[in-house]
Amino acid sequence: MAHGGVESSSGTAAEAAATKPATEGVELPGYRLVIAEAYDLRDDDTTQRQLDRDLRRKIHQLAEELTELSFRETTIEREVSWLRRQPNVIERQLREEAVDPLTGQTRVVRRLILSIPPDVLESWTDRLRQHHAAWVHGLLLGIAATALLWIAALLSMAGLDRWTGGYRRGWIVFFGLLLTGCATAAIWSYVYLTYYIA
């Protein structure tokens, strides 16, 4: 992955407004630009968190635009990391300072620019669709397995109750619900680990 440096400039608010966007020099043919921004009175960890949060928001919007699907925040966090690791994805950070004419305070403007090449954009779109399809498949599998489990459990408890003449009904219900609940948790743990995190 190619990385650019952090550039810095300062001036009045009017000069900053007149400056061209900080994407100049990275607009490559066919590349898709994702620009995250953060504004603050100081440049610290809070500003960086704002920048990262805005990047996730922009990537989330792009993912939904490309696939017309909805995605969870945890999925987007993973996809941001994946995109940054891809070859020929250019990441560039810029820093500007502008003086507020009303308060006289200096505002820091941070920008993070990802330039994504067409081949990465295409493979990412396919990846997003595959992950979404896998999650839907896992969800349906979990629902079906849970329904079958509880039907079998209820039939088994009813059979045991008849076989014991109703004298052990309390224990049958207690242990039946306990075991079925544990099995249900195991089913959804499997779905989560296999289809949600993978």
Q: Can you give the pLDDT at residue 185? A: 97
Q: Can you give the pLDDT at residue 23? A: 41
Q: Can you give the pLDDT at residue 6? A: 47
What backbone torsions phi and psi does residue 161 show, to the nearest 5 degrees? -65, -40
Does 18 score more than 70 pLDDT? no
Q: Can you give the pLDDT at residue 39? A: 84
Q: Can you give the pLDDT at residue 22? A: 41
Residue % of the chain over a pLDDT of 70 = 85
Three-class secondary structure of residue 11 per DSSP: strand
One-letter amino acid at 170 equals G
CA–CA gap between residue 46 and residue 43 (Å, rounded): 8
Three-class secondary structure of residue 117 per DSSP: coil
Three-class secondary structure of residue 32 per DSSP: strand
DSSP state of 88: T
* Other beta carbons within 10 Å of 59: 21
Q: Provide the whole-model pTM.
A: 0.67
Range from 11-15, 20-24, 35-39, 152-156 carrying the lowest mean pLDDT: 11-15
Which pLDDT tens digit goes with each residue over 159-192?
Answer: 998 998 888 889 999 999 999 999 999 999 998 8
What average pLDDT is seen over the chain?
84
Which pLDDT tens digit goes with each residue over 75-103?
Answer: 899 999 999 999 999 999 998 888 878 87
Q: Can you give the pLDDT at residue 147? A: 97
Q: Can you give the pLDDT at residue 13? A: 36
* Other beta carbons within 10 Å of 95: 16
Q: Can you give the pLDDT at residue 14? A: 34
Q: Can you give the pLDDT at residue 197? A: 65
Mean pLDDT to the nearest integer, 50-60: 95
Q: Can you give the pLDDT at residue 100? A: 76
Distance of CA 166 to the CA centre of its chain: 52
